[in-house]
Structure 1
Amino acid sequence: MSDFRAIATVTATLQRALQAAIQADIAGATVSTVRPAEGTNTHLPTAGVNIYLYQVSQNPHRSNLDLPTRRSEGGLVQRPQIALDLHYLLSFYGDDLTLEPQRLMGSTLAFLHSQPMITRAQIEAVVADASKAFLAQSDLARQPELVRFTPLTMSLEELSRLWSVLLQVQYVLSVAYKASVVLVERQLKPQPALPTRAFNLAAVPLRQPFIRQVVADAGEGVPIRPGDPVRIAGVDLQGQATQVLVDQAQVALTDISSDHITINVPAMLSAGPHRAQVVQGVRFDPAGTPRMAVRSNLGTFVVHPAITQTAGKPDIAITNVQGAGAAPRSASVTVGVSPPVGADQLATLELLQQQETIYTFAALTPRAAPAAQLTFPVSGVAAGDYLVRVRIDGAESALQLDPNRVPIGPKGTVP
């Protein structure tokens, strides 16, 4: 790669190469590298070519190869480098009566077309030139890719806009070229990588575990409660080292095979939808810790809440009843719920007759988290007996059924 002198070295090498080329065609012609200007003492040639670097841009292709250069703690892994394209304006000066600018342009274009790249020998000659001692330490010649010059097609409007940047400078015959690519880096010393103390190699079949469904171990359709056994059914679930994550937390396995895994739902898992995932690892050393490498799709399941009971009776209290006779009632309904309900969970109360929901009410907020009791303000309710059901984040509590599967509880009475 190249140090900070690379850009100047490209300009000086182009100047030296063009000087030799145009002198062979037009006697006395010279090449300068100054900003175009008007007046005396501008150092522009009377007859010759002026090279002016008017723009530098980042090369869009090589810049993608600049891999991360530092470790997470900030240590240097490799020298950061920037890939640049240099944009040059070549202006031609001379006697218009003898068409000198045009002859200089023809000589320059023919040379750059026949030799579009500057060679390492040309760069080394410039670096060794005593008149350019400021480039003596340049290492552009060690850059792996040679710098190539390509003409830029510019419309008259674009060329006029470029010259308008040079205030109070009259236009002269000129062309634009791009030099690509120049790799520039700081002379930093990367920290050596830590030595490899040992290595292990393991070869295993590439199989992706897949979860088909997550259901209660007692059977599909049975509500899942905290602490219940759950069956994860799927394909290729058993690996060298297998873990099950429920909401990104690892849980213990009670049974495992290729097509199913059984776990117990964590006792403190909240009501509502949850996600299970199977993670398989590769064991490089029989006695070592496996490295987790393959993850399954996400399987979803729902933990259902339950209305708690005390001495065989549901924990449902209806208080502060307002209204009498045939008038609708207002009251506060307090229900014991398991598992406790989080502060950000949506809780609703449903009052049913038979299997039809008659009323729905939201719980009071804010509430302490987690809450084992929920209070629901109800209004506009007709007096009578109702089946009571709570719904937490969409997961509903189960109703008690008789042998004919008719709902019989839990119940609450609005007096």
Structure 2
Amino acid sequence: MSNVLAIAAVTQLLKDLLNDTLINGDVSTALGADFTVTALPLDRVVTETGDQPTQLNLFLYGVAPNPALRNADLPTRGRDGTLKRRPTLALDLNYLLTALSGEELHAEILLGYAMQLFHEQPILARETIRAALAAAAIDQILPQQFDPIRASELADQIELLKITPRPLSLDDMSKLWTAFQASYRTSVAYDVSLVLIERELPVRVPLPVLSRGGLSDPLTGRDPGVLVRPSLLGSAPVMTAARAGDGHPVMRLGGRVEITGLQLDGGQGAEVTVRFLEPGGGRVLALAPEMPVAPDRLLVRLPATTPLGAGNPALGTASDPASWRVGPYLVDVLIRQPGGREMVSNALPLALAPASTPSVVAAAPGVDLTLTCAPPIRAGQSLAILAGQAMAVLSTPAAPITTASAHFDGLASGSEVPVRLRVDGIDSPVIDLSATPPRLITVTIP
């Protein structure tokens, strides 16, 4: 980072580059007169007496925080006000380059050389900065103790200095010159970015880490560190797919869920748990997979559709069908090692559809269809019954229910009709995938 002298150092650097460019171009011979390069306010370089000297003036008319890095160092202090990291001041510098001369075309020649320099060298290399500031005339106005650090700190900051033309409207230019009460001379504006200023302040220094904490090795009492396995595969469990065991795109109570992936068994002695998370409510239902578990495949049996009786110790757990809800779930695998270390796989979505059994009775002039539902339909869930291509939208229940009924007209007697229960937009499956070829599961209309 640079120190507080960075702004002055940048101005001196640009002055030195402009002066070297004019000398190397032998501008004095072309003009037939001497020239100077200054960094003065506009009212001090413009003369109204007619004896205007030939000169280039570089005036710093604006300094602004850099919008990209102005808050990059936050937070700098802790709760008690202790300084944790040094505040860094990121600045953009705005310069106005003006050519002046009492002779015809001399100002234009100087301006041409200067603009060509900034166009050909928009990024200032570190060696260029060191060389320019090593023998700068600023030595005469700054204390001697600043000399050794001035060049190195500006040249060694993280960001290089970049010079960019800044178009100024006629209105902005006239306001700038009017503020100095000076007659306008041809000028060009440039932005120099980025200057980083940081002071050498004492900060709170963290101690070296002896142990990462958390679970400890039973022998050493400290963190066991990184576990290495002689395998090209990673040690963390990874799920590649989660699907219903019967081949449907949704799972149902009483069925299986098949999970495939890598490192799903956790190794010898590990405890494996498959978790089902409701995205909205945040409730987690955990089930143990069927034994034996394999590194690339797990099978989980969902609870049966039959409600549990009163006093059953499984009430309210993942083994209770009433604990489940028709809707989407996120499925992941939790592995707990013998030492207590836990690893969690990625999560994949899988929806729970209603497990439903339809029944139909004649009710002139149509029929009444009744469907059971497991798990129970919760209060607030949308509900509909679909018979073939007909739909009956039912009222949202105010309390959990396990059956839903609707009346349908126009269904031909003796016809085979597939019937579905739709809860929150999820239909109960009506395709028998065990048959070859697959067939629809239907009811006979009386």
TM-score category by the smaller chain? 0.5 to 0.7
* Aligned-partner SS, 2:185: coil
- Are 2:348 and 1:290 equivalent residues in the alignment? no
User: How far apart, CA to CA, are the structure 1 residues paired with 2:249 and 2:13?
Assistant: 82
* Closer/same/farther in 2, CA of residues 334 and 132 from structure 1, 3 Å limit: farther
Q: Cα deviation per residue 1:100-152 (whole Å; 9 max; x = unaligned)?
A: 5357558867998899843388379677644789x99x967424149977775
Structure with more strand by fraction: 1
* 1:34 positional shift: 1.2
User: How far apart, CA to CA, are the structure 2 residues paired with 1:202 and 1:36?
Assistant: 71
Counterpart for residue 97 of structure 2: 90
Contact residue 261 and residue 296 of structure 2 kept, 8 A: yes
User: How far apart, CA to CA, are the structure 2 residues paired with 1:11 and 1:223?
Assistant: 70
* 1:13 positional shift: 5.3
* Aligned-partner SS, 1:166: helix
* Closer/same/farther in 2, CA of residues 399 and 37 from structure 1, 3 Å limit: same
* 1:183 positional shift: 1.5
User: How far apart, CA to CA, are the structure 2 residues paired with 1:300 and 1:21?
Assistant: 70
Counterpart for residue 383 of structure 2: 347
Amino acid at match of 2:394: A
Aligned alpha-carbon RMSD (Å): 5.7
* Aligned-partner SS, 2:421: strand
- Are 2:309 and 1:277 equivalent residues in the alignment? no
2:294 equivalent among 221, 235, 257: 257
User: How far apart, CA to CA, are the structure 1 residues paired with 2:327 and 2:77?
Assistant: 38
Q: Cα deviation per residue 1:282-305 (whole Å; 9 max; x = unaligned)?
A: x7xx6242344x537x36354433
* 1:271 positional shift: 2.6
Counterpart for residue 354 of structure 1: none
2:107 equivalent among 81, 94, 101: 101
* Closer/same/farther in 2, CA of residues 124 and 70 from structure 1, 3 Å limit: farther
- Are 2:41 and 1:31 equivalent residues in the alignment? no
* 1:261 positional shift: 0.8
Following superposition of structure 1 onto structure 2, how do residues 113-152 of structure 1 map, counting pairs within 5 Å?
117-119=128-130, 122=133, 129-130=140-141, 141-143=152-154, 144-145=156-157
Contact residue 226 and residue 339 of structure 1 kept, 8 A: yes
Following superposition of structure 1 onto structure 2, how do residues 11-410 of structure 1 map, counting pairs within 5 Å?
11-12=11-12, 14-15=14-15, 29=36, 31-35=38-42, 46-54=53-61, 69-70=74-75, 78-79=85-86, 81=88, 83-96=90-103, 100-101=106-107, 105=111, 117-119=128-130, 122=133, 129-130=140-141, 141-143=152-154, 144-145=156-157, 163-166=173-176, 168=178, 170-185=183-198, 190-193=203-206, 195-198=208-211, 200-204=225-229, 205-207=232-234, 209-212=238-241, 214-216=243-245, 220=247, 225-226=252-253, 228-234=255-261, 236-240=263-267, 243-247=273-277, 249=284, 251-254=286-289, 255=291, 256-265=293-302, 266=318, 267=321, 268-278=323-333, 287-292=339-344, 295=346, 298=348, 300=350, 302-306=352-356, 328=365, 337-351=373-387, 357=388, 359-365=390-396, 367-368=397-398, 371-373=400-402, 378=407, 380=409, 390-392=421-423, 393-396=425-428
User: Where in structure 1 are there 5+ consecutive unaligned residues?
Assistant: 309-313, 352-356
Amino acid at match of 1:101: A
* Aligned-partner SS, 2:298: strand
Alignment coverage as a number of residue pairs: 372
Q: Cα deviation per residue 1:148-172 (whole Å; 9 max; x = unaligned)?
A: 7777568xx8686763453556543
**TM-score (norm: length of structure 2):** 0.58
Contact residue 271 and residue 395 of structure 1 kept, 8 A: no
Contact residue 383 and residue 394 of structure 2 kept, 8 A: yes
User: Where in structure 2 are there 5+ consecutive unaligned residues?
Assistant: 213-224, 279-283, 303-317, 433-438
Q: Cα deviation per residue 1:38-95 (whole Å; 9 max; x = unaligned)?
A: 9879xx97543321234667779xx589967549987976445465453422212232
